[in-house]
């Protein structure tokens, strides 16, 4: 069992992108009071896109259980806030739940529809990569629907590399979907 996180990590102020120009953006660990806004962002993405392979909106309790499980495993859930509102959230967890995968995590990131394309995702991703590095992780995986061009471009621009394309493994909106795996090296490749 991994050691749970001990309280929130210190937040930091970002100042180098559009959202910050209208008010300082802060990245900090999520707290229970954030769950409603996290749930709303998650459900907007779930309802309007194939970024999440699920048709059923999450309840507050679902997202609370997810947040608690991440914390119990020692993994962070972080939020970016802008003028007191949550602009996006990010996290990572085990890629696969077996000991041999312990140096590999899978990331997740969702930005509020009103705040996309303003650098929030990039700042959140930088933050969780550093958190994963602190936890001794070697590589981060992202699983992205093959039609999610914005997310693919976002991740590749950041430095993720395409590592696999699984055909018709997902099903949503009455059709099969392809999942693209991408990989980021947190520490240098050994081979
Ligand atoms: C994908 C997502 C996380 C990106 O976060 P973001 O804050 O919007 O992205 P950023 O502003 O940091 O953009 C960084 C780069 O990503 C790419 N990008 C971001 N949004 C894009 C879009 N709508 N179309 C094409 N490229 C896009 C661009 O290359 C951009 O850099 P540039 O503007 O200098 O060209 C966010 O748009 C989002 O939450 N989308 C909906 C949910 C989702 O798809 N989540 C990911 C599931 S795997």
Considering the domain delimited by 12-137, tell me its CATH architecture. Answer: 3-Layer(aba) Sandwich (3.40)
Return the pLDDT at 24. Answer: 79
Q: Burial, 109: exposed, middle or buried (Cβ in 10 Å; 0-12, 13-18, 19+)?
A: buried
Which residue's alpha carbon is nearest to atom 28 within ligand 1? 154
Q: Which parts of the chain are beta strand (E)?
A: 12-14, 25-29, 77-82, 85-94, 104-111, 139-145, 161-172, 175-185
Handedness of CA 12, 70, 108, 22 (dihedral sign): negative
Model pLDDT for residues 60-74, shown as the tens digit of each residue: 999 999 999 999 999
- What's the whole-number mean pLDDT along residues 28-41? 98
CB-CB neighbours of 62 under 10 Å = 15
Q: If you search the block for the tokens 């699983």, which residue do you land on? A: 143
Residue 40 has pLDDT above 60, yes or no: yes
121 Cβ inside 6 Å of ligand 1: yes
Atom of ligand 1 nearest to the CA of 118: 11
Please report, for the chain, the start and end positions of each structural domain, with discontinuous segments joined by +.
Answer: 12-137
Cα separation, 104 vs 132, whole angstroms? 9
Model pLDDT for residues 92-122, shown as the tens digit of each residue: 999 999 999 999 999 999 999 999 999 999 9
Return the pLDDT at 177. Answer: 98
Note the pTM of the prediction, 2 decimals.
0.92
Atom of ligand 1 nearest to the CA of 112: 39
Return the pLDDT at 6. Answer: 38
Q: Which two tokens stand for residue 147?
A: 């039609």
Residue 165 has pLDDT above 80, yes or no: yes
């Amino acid at each position: 069992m991994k050691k749970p996180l001990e309280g929130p990590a210190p937040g930091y102020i970002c100042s180098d992108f559009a959202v910050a120009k209208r008010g300082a953006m802060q990245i900090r660990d999520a707290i229970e009071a954030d769950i409603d806004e996290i749930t709303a962002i998650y459900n907007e993405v779930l309802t309007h896109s194939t970024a999440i392979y699920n048709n059923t909106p999450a309840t507050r309790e679902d997202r609370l259980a997810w947040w608690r499980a991440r914390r119990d495993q020692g993994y962070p859930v972080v939020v970016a806030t802008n003028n007191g509102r949550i602009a996006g959230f990010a996290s990572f967890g085990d890629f696969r739940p077996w000991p041999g995968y312990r140096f590999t995590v899978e990331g997740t990131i969702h930005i509020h529809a009103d705040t996309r394309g303003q650098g929030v995702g990039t700042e959140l991703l930088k933050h969780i990569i550093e958190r994963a590095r602190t936890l001794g992780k070697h590589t981060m995986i992202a699983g992205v629907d093959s039609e999610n061009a914005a997310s693919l471009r976002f991740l590749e621009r950041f430095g993720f590399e395409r590592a696999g394309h699984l055909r018709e493994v997902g099903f949503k909106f009455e059709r099969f979907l392809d999942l693209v795996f991408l990989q980021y090296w947190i520490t240098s490749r050994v081979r």
